[in-house]
Structure 1
């Protein structure tokens, strides 16, 4: 119900307006999609599909609207199917290495709620999310995800160099976005159901509020920046940064928590 075709707007920043079927090279791609449903909004909202495309594989993707009159929608991966007429090459795919400063500091495991703390940054939280999904620990994956999102946003607010903020995308690319498209879609459905449940989301909010704001220096993000350090911001952090107000804003605005 309320499922529509999508059109491809761009692939890795290259415009492909109006295309519904497109061949891409194997490897990781950022694909921006638009729904074909007539929406009330004058501005077409795009959705990004991060896809680690496998050779000789077809991905069938649609737009799932929340109901028949809603503009809101999410990308839905219906299926992955081998392209029978395609012959895999014998070339070894080039491995895109993760920069050392973005690599996990802890052993990659599904981190239990009782082990989550203020010193664990997104470089370890996102690999944990992936492992939780693989282990079938959906609730733990969601708690790790909500915390990783909050801490990533907080780090982006306190790190001055805007180019450094892309560190989160790189970490996601090498963790949760390296899952299959179907695994990502399955987790997204469970995450959406969790967020839309007031009881579940408030429990997560209470947990994060009790845990508190990050207690680590976001070196991983500072190091990723192009501009590096300046005389005005020698440590890469914003001057006169209000920790409490920014943390409260993230909880209230981004996570929609009652604080």
Structure 2
């Protein structure tokens, strides 16, 4: 998703880049609910840094304008985004990118790194409500 968002920026499709960036951050936030190692949760911040790394001031400004066009919670774009991610349900991929980012990847390499008893549906609902304000 990071590479797709960066590709959209290179093509100057900032609105699409923004939606991909938001989806990437939303999924990363959700992944913090299912990855046990709290040191791994910094992967969410690392994704933001990797996305913005090397962007020119002009490009950053254009991306910020896409944020403004998207609007705040309750805007038409926000409502549509929420509708789309709610319909899609919780991610089902294995969050290896985040698990490998944490210290326990080195200190407990035999562990799968996931929170025991994690409820995907409930965690996704909370993520949508608390993080994305859906």
Shift of 1:144: 0.7
Superposition RMSD in Å:
2.1
SS for the counterpart of 1:200 is: helix
Partners of 1:174 and 1:252 in 2: how far apart?
26
Shift of 1:137: 1.3
Contact 1:129/1:176, CA 8 A, preserved across alignment: no
Change (3 A) 1:146 1:249: same
Higher relative contact order (CA 8 A, sep 6+): 2
Aligned to 2:102: 225
Give runs of ≥4 in structure 1 deviating > 6 Å. none
What residue ranges of structure 1 are gaps of 5+ in the alignment?
Answer: 1-124
The aligned length equals 132
More strand by proportion, 1 or 2?
A: 1
Shift of 1:192: 3.1
SS for the counterpart of 1:174 is: helix
Give the one of 117, 121, 126 matched to 1:249: 126
- Residue 48 (structure 2) pairs with residue 176 (structure 1): no
Summarize the alignment of residues 92-241 of structure 1 with structure 2, pairs less than 5 Å apart: 125-196=1-72, 198-228=75-105, 230=108, 234-241=111-118
* TM-score (norm: length of structure 1): 0.47
Shift of 1:131: 1.4
Higher-Rg member (1/2): 1
What residue ranges of structure 2 are gaps of 5+ in the alignment?
Answer: none
Partners of 1:158 and 1:178 in 2: how far apart?
31
Contact 1:130/1:179, CA 8 A, preserved across alignment: no
* TM-score (norm: length of structure 2): 0.85
SS for the counterpart of 1:224 is: coil
Contact 2:4/2:17, CA 8 A, preserved across alignment: yes
Summarize the alignment of residues 27-106 of structure 1 with structure 2, pairs less than 5 Å apart: none
Partners of 2:46 and 2:133 in 1: how far apart?
26
Contact 2:14/2:62, CA 8 A, preserved across alignment: no
